Chains A and B, each alone.
Chain A
Amino acid sequence: MDIAEHRIADVVVVAPVGPIDFPNAQHLERALAPLLGRDAAVQALVLDFHDVVYVSSMGLRVLMVAAKNLRARNARIAVAALQPVVVEIFDIARFAHVLEVFPTVRDAVAALSPSALAAWDASR
Chain B
Amino acid sequence: MKLVRFWGTRGSLPVALTTADVRAKVMAALRGASGRTFASEEELDSYVNALAPEVAGTYGGHTSCVEIETGRSEYVLCDLGSGVRPFGQRALARHGPSSPQTYHVFMSHLHWDHIMGFPFFTPAYIPGNRIRIYGVHEGLEEALRRQHGAPSFPVDFSALGADIEFVGLEAGATREVAGIAVTPMLQRHAGDSYGYRFAGDGRSFVYSTDSEHALFDLEETRRFVDFFRDADLVVFDAMYSLADAISVKADWGHSSNIVGVELCQMAGARELCLFHHEPVHGDAAIERVLAEARRFEEISRKGRPLKVTAAYDGMEIAL
| Interface positions of A (Cβ within 8 A of B) | 54, 56-58, 60-61, 64, 68, 85, 88-89, 91-95, 97-98
Determine the chain A residues whose CB is within 8 A of the CB of B243 once the complex forms. 60, 64, 93-95, 97-98
Selected from B216, B244, B296, B300, the residue in CB contact (under 8 A) with A61 is B216
Selected from A64, A88, A92, the residue in CB contact (under 8 A) with B247 is A64
The answer, yes or no, to whether B102 is at the interface (CB within 8 Å) is no
Q: Are A92 and B300 in contact (CB under 8 A)?
A: no
9 contacts between A and B (CB under 8 A): A56-B300, A57-B215, A58-B215, A60-B242, A60-B243, A61-B246, A91-B292, A92-B293, A98-B247
| Interface positions of B (Cβ within 8 A of A) | 215-216, 241-244, 246-247, 256-259, 262, 292-293, 295-296, 299-300
Selected from A56, A88, A94, the residue in CB contact (under 8 A) with B244 is A94
Q: How far is the CA of A97 from the CA of B240 in the complex (A)?
A: 14
Q: How far is the CA of A98 from the CA of B247 in the complex (A)?
A: 9
Q: Are B242 and A85 in contact (CB under 8 A)?
A: no
Interface of B is mostly: helix
Q: Are A61 and B215 in contact (CB under 8 A)?
A: yes
Q: Are A93 and B241 in contact (CB under 8 A)?
A: yes
Determine the chain A residues whose CB is within 8 A of the CB of B246 once the complex forms. 60-61, 64
Q: Are A93 and B300 in contact (CB under 8 A)?
A: no
Q: How far is the CA of A64 from the CA of B296 in the complex (A)?
A: 19
Q: Are A54 and B242 in contact (CB under 8 A)?
A: no
Q: Are B300 and A94 in contact (CB under 8 A)?
A: no
Determine the chain B residues whose CB is within 8 A of the CB of A97 once the complex forms. 243
Q: How far is the CA of A54 from the CA of B295 in the complex (A)?
A: 13
Q: How far is the CA of A61 from the CA of B221 in the complex (A)?
A: 14
Determine the chain B residues whose CB is within 8 A of the CB of A61 once the complex forms. 215-216, 246
Determine the chain B residues whose CB is within 8 A of the CB of A85 once the complex forms. 299
Determine the chain B residues whose CB is within 8 A of the CB of A68 once the complex forms. 247
Selected from B216, B244, B259, B296, the residue in CB contact (under 8 A) with A89 is B296
Determine the chain B residues whose CB is within 8 A of the CB of A93 once the complex forms. 241-243, 256, 258
Q: Kindly list 18 other residue pairs between chains A and B, CB separation below 8 angstroms, not including A89-B296, A92-B242.
A: A54-B300, A56-B262, A57-B242, A57-B258, A57-B259, A58-B215, A60-B243, A61-B246, A64-B247, A88-B299, A91-B292, A92-B293, A92-B295, A93-B243, A93-B256, A94-B244, A97-B243, A98-B243
| B224–chain A nearest beta-carbon distance, Å | 13
